[in-house]
Structures are given as C-alpha cells and as structure tokens.
Amino acid sequence: MPYQYSLFQLPGGTRCARIEWTGVATGEAAAALVAECAPGQPLYGLPMLILTQKMETMEARARSVFSSRSVTPLSEFLAIVASNPIIRVATNFIMRLTKNPRQRMFPTEAEALGWLDERTREYAAAHPDPGAP
C-alpha cells in the first residue's frame, strides 16, 4: 500500500491521524484510505495530517476518488503537506472541487501541525462535550 497511517495526539490533546504517502497514489489505494475514514472505521471523524513529500504522482483515478464530494466530510480538519509541484497542483485542484473549508495545504509539517492544533482547539471551545466533567 502506498500509504501508512498512525494515530497521535496534537499538543492540545486531540487525537489525530498521520497519513504518509509514498510512490504512486493509485485509485485502489485512495479508495482503501477513504474506506478507513467511513463511519465505524479507525480514521472516522479524526483530524488528519496528510504527508505527500514522498509521493511521486497521483493517478487520475486517485484524484477522482479524493475529489468526490461523498468522501470529503466537512467535519474533519485536513492539513496536507505538499512540496512536490505536481502534487501541489493536483491537491489544489481537488481542494477547489471539494470546496471543503476545513482543509488547507502547507509547505512544512510544522506549519500543518500548528494549524491543525489551532483549529481543533477552536472547535473544542465552540462545541464543548456535554458529557465531560
């Protein structure tokens, strides 16, 4: 699989998914990742740090999968780190199609993490957990 994911905590305490792509992002791999984000699956509802620095290219089918509105929930914050110009263009295209205000692209992982932490803290402050002590 051309991606691996792991879970970690942002400085503010929110659980987050870290997804690192390598090589070619295929349509099959994109569909598999999207399936991992479905309700009841391990990545559902988590903010995501998506690292593409080691991605070489993204197949047309992968772009199609990622740009589908049905797979881009507005409840997740997505910080995408893209340094490769080709990947940046493809990512910009997908972001324009999906019009998800909760996703943003960054040149560095540190900037992406800072943004994710700020957004999740703001969201938590505006939407307190009614079951929390």
Given a contact cutoff of 8 angstroms between Cβ atoms, the answer to whether 11 and 46 are in contact is no
Q: Quick one: 13 exposed, middle or buried, by C-beta within 10 A (0-12, 13-18, 19+)?
A: exposed
- pLDDT for 119: 95
- pLDDT for 5: 95
- pLDDT for 71: 55
Q: How many CB atoms lie within 10 A of CB 109?
A: 14
- pLDDT for 107: 94
- pLDDT for 1: 77
Q: How many angstroms separate the CA atoms of 57 and 113, rounded? A: 24
The domain locations on the chain are 3-126
Note the Cα 6 to chain centre separation in Å: 12
- pLDDT for 30: 92
Q: For 3-126, which CATH class?
A: alpha beta
Write out residues in the chain with pLDDT < 70, as ranges: 69-75, 130-133
pTM above 0.85, yes or no: yes
- pLDDT for 131: 65
